[in-house]
Amino acid sequence: MKSRWPMFALYGVLSVASIFWLVPVATVAMISILPLDQSSKGWWHADLSTATLANYGRVWEHGLSGYTLNSLIISLLSVAITVVLGTLAAYAFARMAFRLKGTLYFLLITTMIVPVQIILIPLVPWFRTLGLNQGSAQYLGISLVHTAFGAGWALFMLIGFFSQIPDEVLESARIDGASEFQAFLRIALPLSVPGIISFVIIDFVFVWNDLLMGLTLLDSDHRPLTVGLANLQAPQLNQDDIISAGSILAILPPLILFAILNRYYVRGLFAGAVKG
């Protein structure tokens, strides 16, 4: 039984808060489907029969298609590398004893705390040295930076899941002659799918939403959508219509991913770090 709060007060407060939370999204959504001459009179008394998707078409052709593709490549590549390398490492930290464990764990976990600015400046000449500053190699370069920077998060979240697997399950696999790697691949990984999915969501959202790295490390043909959107912001040009459509395009992919996988994410949170 939960305590009984006065229900009208409860729903009243929640409804008012919901309106505050929804107005910004509603504003952008409305401006994005209205012609400029309608939205500049105030979207709240616009003529809805003029609604159109033309703004989306225009912003797409305005260059956002390229930025969107860049964002997709960078996000998928980063998440893929981070998940593969992160699960391997997290499994070792959760299930094995080794001499440098404490030191390595501490070093990797510092990526959660230390601000990204500590690596930003030397990365530019470093990419040049490694040949990661031109063409498609830039995708790989920034993805590896995202992987390094996401290492702490990956371990923080994934170790929790791997350490919850009962000893007997992995032990029986070893008795059957499975190597440590086979036990990881066939037993530990499938059992940790909810945890891995909640990490995938967080990491995808994190990488997709990055502006600073993309702005600093990539040339203008390879920059992500966040940079493209920021470039549209020019107060002297009256282009609220395409800026709003661009914002919606930028927030949709992580939102869709979250909506599809939300169930796993919540389950992952329930089982993982938060419960301790």
Partner 1 sequence: MRANSSHRAAVTPYLFVGPLFLVFALFYLWPTIATVASSAFRWGMLNPWQTQNPADWQFVGLSNYADTLNSGDFWNAALNSAIWLIVFPTLVLATSFPLAILIWNTRRGASFFRSVFVIPMTISLSAAGVIWSFIYNPDVNKGVLNAVLHVFGLDKASFVFGPLELHAGRWLSDPGILHLGFADIRLVNLFIIIPAVWAFAGFGVITFSAGLTSVPAELIDAARVDGAGRLQLVRHVVMPSLRPSILVVGVVSVIFALRTFDIVFVTTGGGPAQDSEVLAMLLWKQVFQFLDTPQGGLAAAIAVLMSVAMIVIAMPYIRATLKEQR
Within residues 130-169, the interface with partner 1 by CB under 8 A covers: 144-145, 147-149, 151, 154, 160
Q: How far is the CB of 275 from partner 1 (least distance, A)?
A: 5
Q: 29-68: which residues touch partner 1 (CB under 8 A)?
A: 31, 39-42, 44
Q: Which of 101, 102, 135, 172 binds partner 1 (CB under 8 A)?
A: 101
79 residue type, one letter: V
207 residue type, one letter: V
Q: Which of 126, 150, 146, 134 is nearest to 77 (CA)?
A: 146
State yes or no: residue 182 binds partner 1 (CB under 8 A).
no
Q: Which of 5, 50 has the CB closer to partner 1?
A: 5
State yes or no: residue 205 binds partner 1 (CB under 8 A).
yes
Q: How far is the CB of 77 from partner 1 (least distance, A)?
A: 13
Q: Which of 141, 166, 153, 140 is nearest to 86 (CA)?
A: 153
Task: Return the CA Rg of the chain.
Answer: 23
Q: Which of 65, 209 has the CB closer to partner 1?
A: 209
What tokens appear for 3 in the block?
């305590």
Q: 66-85: which residues touch partner 1 (CB under 8 A)?
A: 81, 84-85
E strand residue ranges, the chain: none
Report CA torsion sign: 41, 43, 49, 54.
positive
CA distances from 79 to 8, 54, 145 (A): 44, 33, 11
Interacting span for partner 1 (CB under 8 A) from 49-57, 62-70, 189-197, 262-270: 262-270
Inter-axis angle of helices 240-271 and 193-208, nearest 10: 150
Q: Which of 59, 64, 108, 173 binds partner 1 (CB under 8 A)?
A: 108
Q: How far is the CB of 93 from partner 1 (least distance, A)?
A: 7
How far apart, in whole angstroms, are the C-alpha atoms of residue 41 and residue 47? Answer: 10
Q: Which of 47, 61, 69, 122 binds partner 1 (CB under 8 A)?
A: 122
CA distances from 132 to 81, 196, 227 (A): 16, 29, 20
Q: How far is the CB of 5 from partner 1 (least distance, A)?
A: 5
Q: How far is the CB of 221 from partner 1 (least distance, A)?
A: 18
Q: Which of 115, 190 has the CB closer to partner 1?
A: 115
How far apart, in whole angstroms, are the C-alpha atoms of residue 258 and residue 220? Answer: 29
Judge whether 160 and 236 are in contact, CB under 8 Å. Answer: no
Q: 222-241: which residues touch partner 1 (CB under 8 A)?
A: 226, 229-230, 233, 240
